[in-house]
Amino acid sequence: MSKQAKLTLLAIAAAVLMLWVVITIVPLYWMVIGSFQDSKASASFNPQMWPKVWSIAPYERFFTKTNALRWLFNSLFVSAVITVTNLFFATLAGYAFAKLKFPGRNSIFWVLLSTMMIPAQVTLIPLYVLVINVFNLADTYTAIILPSVVTVGNIFLMKQYMSTLPTSLIHAARIDACSEFGIFRKIILPMSKPGLAVLAIFTFVANWNDFFWPLLVTRSDSMRTIQVGLASFRFAESTDYGAIMAGATIGALPMIILFFALQRYFLQGITIGAVKG
């Protein structure tokens, strides 16, 4: 490619990319800017691109009309527990599938993996009957957490990650009569830290953002997660756009902060998690 053509391509690329960055960010900007303008004062939601008067009234209305702090705590608690259980069980299973030999290893792994093809809608109804009617867990944290204790996606991620670790160290430890759990704890875990970080971040974000299952199994207002609470608020106060934008901002803000703080893990983690073609 000639130097001229290369420069033209670069200029076009930069222009298109900047335009698309604007398109991508504008909805979030609209949300934040809308949340700081008091729409209740006027008849319709008519936010300015840059408000003349900043107002926190939408936030006050959102927090006084709802159980938002409780919802945030519920989301935090549920996501944190699910992240910890996934870290524990997915690393153990991922290690077993990657490094240990046992009869049935491959068939068990493939059966688990193939369940990822089954859409959630198929298992949802019996799962609902099981958790609500059989286990009698309606409106409890356990009901929200139980089906997500360890996911196949996370086991797959840890298996992929751990198969890149050197097997020779494990053999050496075994010769030194280290127990299998000891090997896992003293050798595998310390070497897996980047993989664990990726698993933790993505699991936490996914469960913070999860909506459908918590919607089905929660009943009382105080047991809702922030996502379910936001949805209920949208239907209860459907004309108060300002307060809805305030709620949407509150629900997204922790994840946006997390993203900026741990950007490197987010951007690298995607390639670790994807199935290699």
Q: Which stretch binds other proteins (CB under 8 A): 57-65, 66-74, 164-172, 249-257?
A: 249-257
7 binds other proteins (CB under 8 A): no
**In this chain, which stretch among 61-69, 136-144, 191-199, 211-219 interacts with other proteins, using CB under 8 A?**
211-219
Q: Is the dihedral of CA 214, 218, 220, 222 positive or negative?
A: negative
Comparing CB distances to other proteins, the nearer of 6 and 222 is 6
- Please tell me whether residue 198 binds other proteins under the rule CB under 8 A: no
On the 0-12 / 13-18 / 19+ scale of CB atoms within 10 A, 10 is exposed
For residue 76, give Cα distances in angstroms to 65, 69, 123, 198. Answer: 21, 11, 26, 18
Segment 49-88, which members bind other proteins (CB under 8 A)? none
Contact 77, 145 (CB under 8 A): no
89 near other proteins, rule: CB under 8 A: yes
Contact range with other proteins by CB under 8 A, out of 76-84, 160-168, 170-178, 260-268: 260-268
Residue 54 has, within 13 A of its CA and on its CB side, a CA count of 3
Q: Does 276 bind other proteins (CB under 8 A)?
A: yes
Rounded-to-integer distance, Cα 92 and Cα 81, Å:
17
Structure token digits, residue 91: 């690393």
Angle, in degrees to the nearest 10, between helices 68-99 and 226-236: 140
Side chain identity at 143, as an amino acid letter? A
Query: Taking CB under 8 A as the rule, does residue 20 contact other proteins?
Result: yes
Nearer to other proteins, 19 or 56 (CB): 19
Single out the segment in contact with other proteins by CB under 8 A; choices: 57-65, 169-177, 190-198, 258-266. 258-266
273's tokens:
């998690």
CB neighbour burial string for 103-122, b if at least 16 within 10 angstroms, e if fewer: eeeeeebeeebeeeeeeeee
Binding residues among 122-151 for other proteins as defined by CB under 8 A: 122-130, 133, 146-147, 149-150
Q: Please, what is the minimum distance in Å from the beta carbon of residue 245 to other proteins?
A: 6
CB of 60 to other proteins, least distance (A): 18
Neighbours of 32 (CB within 10 A): 15
In the region spanning residues 149 to 188, those forming contacts with other proteins, defined by CB under 8 A, are 149-150, 152, 155, 179-181, 184
Query: Which of 121, 136, 168, 220 contacts other proteins by CB under 8 A?
Result: 121
What region, left, alpha or beta, does residue 139 occupy, with left being phi > 0 and alpha being psi -120 to 50 degrees? left
For residue 231, state whether it binds other proteins (rule: CB under 8 A).
yes
Residue 258 is encoded by which pair of tokens? 């997390």
Q: Which stretch binds other proteins (CB under 8 A): 59-67, 164-172, 190-198, 267-275?
A: 267-275
Q: Which of 53, 103, 176, 177 binds other proteins (CB under 8 A)?
A: 103
For the bound state, the minimum distance from the C-beta of residue 94 to other proteins, rounded and expressed in Å, comes to: 9
